Amino acid sequence: MKQYILAMGLAVLTAGTGMAQTDALVSKKGQPILPEAGDVGLGFNAVPVLSFFGNMFNGNQNNTFAGDNKFISNLGNQVLFGKYMLSENRALRAHLRIGINGQTNGNYVFDDVANNPDSLALDRQKLNNQTYVLGAGYEFRRGKGRVQGFYGAEAHVVLNFSSSSYEYGNAFGPVNPAPTTTTNFGNGTASPQGERLVSTNDGAGFGFGVRPFVGIEYFFAPKISVGGEFGWGLTYQVTGDGESKFESFEAASGNVITRTQVQSGNNGFNVDTDNFNGALFLMFYF
């Protein structure tokens, strides 16, 4: 499996050598090989591409040896990456992610009021998750011909929000102090509950990091490169207090009451190197 990935990587690196000599700065058609001032670069994870070609030659294997990381392991695969060339040897870098996920799960349970096996009540779970990543950095470049080294530093901020709410088909009441309620929306488990979850609001998460980096790009075609990088970074993360609300029936008052439970937040920091597991990227400049 590893041999296929390495073979495909070498194939990509050498695919463009027929267009010009490896030390040339223009192709045979006169197209610039290296990015120029004013160019914009967009990149993505090259591992799925290499895995695809590797699997073509080895259909019973999943060639993911090179890893799943994109550019920076602490930002994840879903972060967009771009560059703006200030000159031939300097660039601004940017990372961006806007992730908003809303999901509603339903589960039918026994209808306590109808008291008929053919009658069902619907419980609903609504989930909301949001993740925002914004990063910026400055990059220096140097090298001759198609091989270009780069180094620099960048910073990023990360925001996370998560919450859930629940609606139940069977209501609390004097004759039904423990209504049939879904306890697990994943497998549809339900049972009589004297108290049940109404909503959760996880504490907002905030993270900040700084990261020096170094890497290399090989331009196998005009303004198209494959490369990799690693860095050493410090990340600080803090999560605020969260809370969960529960409801139950109070027989003495004859009312449905709500109880709030608070969860403590947390914080921490991490200092480490990243991307030593062989993650590769493809860059396109235009």
Give me the number of domains the chain comprises. Answer: 1
* CA torsion through residues 43, 48, 52, 53, sign: positive
Q: Which of 43, 48, 130, 38 is nearest to 80 (CA)?
A: 43
| Tens-digit pLDDT profile for residues 243-285 | 999 999 999 999 999 999 999 999 999 998 876 555 678 899 9
pLDDT, tens digit, for every residue of 171-196? 999 999 999 999 999 999 999 999 99
Q: Which residues pair with 98 in a beta bridge?
A: 132
Residue with tokens 């809303």: 102
Domain assignment of residue 87, given as a range:
2-285
Assess contact for 277 and 67: CB atoms under 8 A: yes
Q: What is the mean pLDDT of each run of 10 residues along the chain (286 residues)?
A: 42 42 68 94 70 49 44 59 94 93 97 92 97 94 92 94 97 96 96 98 94 93 90 92 97 95 95 71 90
pTM for the whole structure: 0.76
